[in-house]
Amino acid sequence: MGNQRLFEYVLQNFNNVCDMMDLDSSVRTILSQPKNEIIVHFPVQLDDGTYELFKGYRIQHSNMLGPYKGGIRYHEDVRLDEVKALAMLMTIKCSLVNLPLGGAKGGIKFSPRKYSEEEVDKVTRRFTAALGNNIGPAHDIPAPDMGTNAQTMVKMMDTYMNMCNPDQKHNSRGIVTGKPVDCGGTEGRASATGTGVVMCIEEWAKHRRVDLSKTTYSIQGYGNVGSWAGVALHNHGAKLVAVNDHTGTIVDERGIDSHALRDYVKEHGGVAGYRDLETQDRNTFFSTKVDIMIPAALENQITEIEAKLMDVRLVAEGANGPTTPKGEKVLKKKDTEILPDVLANAGGVIVSYFEWVQNKRSEYWDEDEVNHKLKKKLSKAFWSCVEMTQDYDCDIRTAAYIGSLKRLESSYKLRGIFP
């Protein structure tokens, strides 16, 4: 299974960096485990009248820099180890891009594709009710992740609001981010993670003097993150030649229309069968030579096996944890650069933060303003990572962890550790 050992892998990166930068040992101890691990079981009545018991998680890793923040995943492989790892990545990500937020993650172990819309809505509402006061707009703020979307978020918000005292209802919109714009969401949130990946690629291209209009790229996962990244890179004139998802792989060296593919996937649920392109196996996807590969599906997809097949100049991690430590070693030997998840996909949480701020201030920012602010934050984070790679003679992932952990360490040192 893809997500096994993810926490071990994230800890491995964390510990290597702690050694390298000599992180304060008490800070290291505290950050090695999440603060809270909440597991709930709740029953939901299905359309046929029977009841099913669901298992949900909310892992709160750190609130040192601000309220816990992180997505909610619906997938049949969701498990404690995975959610702990993803929560820790959120702490590192929020600190890296300098948001006043901590790290959390949640999920329910089920496949929403196998249930009706009404059943999924009931699961969302019962999960929100089961979490109760463990979440809150000034305490822990969920967002979309794999298998969830704006529809899921608005159901969470509505359920939470209905459980609030009347005088608190309208201060509670910020309980989740990634809501539809008509219900307190922000412009630019749906596209933020995918376009943010491409904003990071733009900075990398400036750094390496690469003309993006002459590049080819491939994407694994054509959901929220993958499809927006696909379209944004296409807008630079780059050529999409391979896409893989849970339904199969399509390859077309002449170029795949990223916009048309997005519409197709929305209608058919996956890439298989698109424009009569032959559906190929997963290995064909990884062995297709491209300049840029964007993993935007599950974790642990690039192990040493896939890395050996790859001939890629840059991996821009839209997904969280897509590259295993062994996979990364093989890629390094091939001089493949990696834009790490904590930087490359931080656009999602940055615009979630913008949504939360707008909710708090009862403000509305237009899309240009959101994207301008997003670009500024990501660009700053990218160049601070580049500087760190030079100071520490390291790769960008290590640099990103160092920058992030330095901020957390400084905060602990200034505040002290209670009592």
- Footprint on this chain of ligand NAD (rule: CB under 6 A): 144-147, 193, 220-226, 244-246, 270, 296-298, 318-320, 345, 348
Q: How far is the CB of 185 from ligand NAD (least distance, A)?
A: 12
Q: How far is the CB of 329 from ligand NAD (least distance, A)?
A: 21
> For 142, phi and psi rounded to 5 degrees?
-70, 170
Q: With respect to ligand NAD, which residue has the nearer C-beta, 104 or 296?
A: 296
Q: How far is the CB of 259 from ligand NAD (least distance, A)?
A: 16
In terms of Cα–Cα distance, which of 147, 174, 2 is closest to 85? 2
The rounded distance, in Å, linking the Cα atoms of 325 and 14 is: 12
The rounded distance, in Å, linking the Cα atoms of 281 and 180 is: 36
Q: With respect to ligand NAD, which residue has the nearer C-beta, 258 or 345?
A: 345
Question: Which strands form 248-251's sheet, in the order they lie side by side?
Answer: 248-251, 239-245, 216-220, 290-295, 312-316, 337-339
Torsion, Cα 177 178 180 183, to 10 degrees, reads 0
- The residues assigned a catalytic role are 105
Contact (Cβ atoms closer than 8 angstroms) between residue 179 and residue 153: yes
Q: With respect to ligand NAD, which residue has the nearer C-beta, 40 or 316?
A: 316
Q: With respect to ligand NAD, which residue has the nearer C-beta, 102 or 144?
A: 144
Q: How far is the CB of 252 from ligand NAD (least distance, A)?
A: 18
The tokens 């901590």 sit on which residue? 102
| 415 burial level (CB within 10 Å; 0-12, 13-18, 19+) | exposed
Reply yes or no: is the peptide bond before residue 100 cis, omega within 30 of 0.
Answer: no
Q: How far is the CB of 317 from ligand NAD (least distance, A)?
A: 9
Q: How far is the CB of 345 from ligand NAD (least distance, A)?
A: 4
Q: How far is the CB of 221 from ligand NAD (least distance, A)?
A: 3
Residue nearest ligand NAD, Cβ-based: 223
The rounded distance, in Å, linking the Cα atoms of 353 and 65 is: 13
In terms of Cα–Cα distance, which of 257, 61, 27 is closest to 140? 61
C-alpha atoms less than 13 angstroms from C-alpha of 135 in its C-beta half-sphere? 33
Written as one string, the DSSP assignment of 253-277 is TT---HHHHHHHHHHHSSSTTGGGP
Q: With respect to ligand NAD, which residue has the nearer C-beta, 351 or 399?
A: 351
Q: With respect to ligand NAD, which residue has the nearer C-beta, 160 or 264?
A: 264
Structure tokens at 81: 């180890």
The rounded distance, in Å, linking the Cα atoms of 155 and 159 is: 6
Q: How far is the CB of 276 from ligand NAD (least distance, A)?
A: 20
Q: With respect to ligand NAD, which residue has the nearer C-beta, 103 or 318?
A: 318
Residues belonging to the chain: 419
First vs last Cα of the chain: how many Å apart? 42
Q: With respect to ligand NAD, which residue has the nearer C-beta, 215 or 320?
A: 320
> For 248, phi and psi rounded to 5 degrees?
145, -165
Strands 337-339 and 312-316: parallel
The rounded distance, in Å, linking the Cα atoms of 162 and 156 is: 10
